[in-house]
Amino acid sequence: MAESRNVGTSSSLSREAHERLVALTNSREVQTLLNALGEDALLHLVGGTVRDAVLNRECHDIDLTTILTPDVLLQRLGDASIHSINTGQRHGTITAVVNGHNIEITTFRIPGEVFGTAREKNFSKSIEEDLSGRDFTINAMAFSLVGHEFQDPFDGISAVTQRTLNAVGDASTRFKEDPLRIMRMIRFGPANGFTIELKTLSAAKDLAASLKSVSVERINNELTNILLSPHPDEAFRLMLKSDIMAEILPEILPCVDFEQNQYHRFDVFEHTLEVIKLSPSNIILRLTALLHDLGKPHTLSVDEHGNRHFYKHEIVSAELSKQILKRLKYPNAIQDSVTKLVRQHMRPLSCGPAGVRRLIRDLGNDLELWLEFKRADSLGAKIKESDFTQESESFLAGVEQEKQRVIGSPYANLAINGDDLISLGMKPGPKLGAVLAALQELVLEYPDLNVKETLLQEADKRIKLITRD
C-alpha cells in the first residue's frame, strides 16, 4: 500500500485514516466523478469527509473540492450524463448525483469571501489557498484523489488528537465571512466533545449578534444538528455563556437559574438540559425536551407555605413552542407533534382506564413518543428509573386493553353521529360539535353507555339545555 504524502504539518496521517480515505477515493461513485471531470480537476476529499476519517468515524457524506469553476463543472458532468443539482452555484457548490448518492463539489475559494457572494474572481487556483479560508483547522484538511496526497497546513490532526477546536487564522475574520460558523463552532465543539480555543470562543461571543443576518433555514439546520449531537447539553450551556442563546432562542433565558420546587433536582434550565440528554436522538423528542417547560417562569405562584407551583405551564409552553417552531421554519408535522407532546406532558401515567382512553385519543400516533418523553422528563426530575419502569409497564398494559375502543377519527366509535343530532332538531355548527364532544367524553368515561338509544337520550338532554340557554 502506498503511503500518503503529508504536506504542511508535522503530524502524520494514521494508517487507519489513510486506508479509509483511499477506500473512499477508490469507491465507484468517486471514481465515476474522477473519470468524468479529469485529473486536471485537481479533485480532493475535503472537510468533514477527511475529518471523520481522521476521527475513525464512519463517513456518511463525501465532500469534494476542485479547481474547476461551477460552469465548467456543470458542463463536464453533463457531458458524462451525470445528473447535477445547482445547490449553490453562486457560492461555488454543485451537487453531483452518482448511483443515487449526492456528492457536493465546491470550487476552490480564496479567503475573505463572504458567504453567498462567490463570483469567478473569488475562486482560487490552489487547494492551499482554499484551505486557508476554511472555518476550523479540523475542517482544513484535504486528500487528493490523484496521488493520495494529504494536505494539513494548519495541523488539524493535532487538533483532532487533542480534541480542541481552533479557527483557521483570525477567528473574527472567519466568523465575519459567514456568521453561521458561530453555530458550527458549537456543533463541532462542545456538542461533539471538543474544547474551543479561547480566542476562537471570545471572537464568537463578540460577534454573536451577527447571527441575526443568517437565514432561518441555515439556523434551523445547525440547531437540529446540535440537538441530535452526542452532547447537546454541553452545547446549550456554551450557547448561553457565549450569548448565542440570546440571539437564537431568547425564550429560554427566563429559565436560567429559575428555581423549581421539591419535586426537582435542578433549576428549569438545567432540568431542560438533563431531559434533552436523557431523550433518544430524535428531533421531535429533543425539541420537546428543549421547549417543554418554557411556560414555568410565566406561571409561577407561591402558596401560603412557600411552595412554588406552575399551574397550566404546559399550556403556555405549548403556545411558546408553536411560535418558536414556526419562526424557525420547522415542518408542520414536527410543529404539530412537538406542540402536542409539550401540551400533554403533564398527563400522568396512572390515570385509570378512562384516562388511558383519553390519552390514546389525544396523542394518536405520538403516544409512543410521549411515553419516551415521560421517561426522560421523570428521570430528569427525582423519579427513580425502576419506579418509572414499573409505572410505564402498567400503563402499557392498559393501552393494550383500551386502544381498540379509541381508534379512527374522534367520533368514529360513537354509536351516534351528527346526522342523528340533526334529526333531533340541531343545526350543523359549533353547538352540534360541542354535543358530540361531550358525548365522546361520556363514552370514554363510561364505555357501556355507547349505545345508540342511550346516547340519543343523553343528546336530547344536552340539546334542551343548550336551547334553554
What is the per-residue pLDDT across 297-312, written as a single tens digit (0 to 9) for each? 999 999 999 899 999 9
3-state secondary structure of 124: coil
Domain match, 399 and 434 both: no
The dihedral through the CA atoms of 149, 154, 158, 163 has a sign that is: negative
Same domain, 402 and 437: no
For 97, residues 6+ apart whose C-beta sits below 8 A from its C-beta are 82, 83, 84, 85, 103
Q: Three-class SS of residue 274? A: helix
Residue 61's pLDDT band, with cuts at 50, 70 and 90, is confident
Could you report the per-residue pLDDT of 73-119, keeping only the tens digit for each?
Answer: 999 999 999 999 987 666 789 999 999 999 999 999 988 766 555 55
Among residues 407, 437, 460, which one ends one of the domains? 407
Considering the domain architecture, whether residues 377 and 464 belong to the same structural domain is answered as no
Mean pLDDT of 434-445: 84
Has residue 412 been placed in a domain? no
DSSP state letter for 379: H
The Cα–Cα gap between 362 and 391 comes to 20
Domain containing 98 equals 5-161
Residue 256's contacts (CB-CB under 8 Å, 6 or more residues apart) are 240, 267, 268, 269
Q: Is residue 413 part of a domain?
A: no
Collapse the DSSP code of 102 into the 3-class scheme (helix H, G, I; strand E, B; otherwise coil) and give the result: strand
Q: Each residue of 203-256: pLDDT tens digit?
A: 999 999 999 999 999 999 999 999 999 999 999 999 999 999 999 999 999 999
Q: Do residues 314 and 343 both lie within one domain? A: yes
CATH code (residue 53): 3.30.460.10
Q: Is residue 47 part of a domain?
A: yes
Residue 217 domain-assigned (yes or no): yes
Q: Cell 465571512 identifies what position?
A: 177
Does 373 lie in the same domain as 262? yes
Residue 392 lies in a domain: yes
- Quote the DSSP letter at residue 96: E
Domain boundary among 233, 248, 263: 248
Do residue 241 and residue 259 come from a single domain? no
Whether 258 maps to a domain, the answer reads yes
CB distance 418 to 432 below 8 Å = yes
Q: Nine-digit cell at 360?
A: 390514546
Query: Is the same domain home to 146 and 257?
Result: no
Among 18, 98, 17, smallest CA distance to 61 is for 98
Domain count, the chain: 4
Return d(Cα 83, Cα 367) in angstroms, integer. Answer: 42
Examine the pLDDT at 11 and tell me if it is beyond 80: no
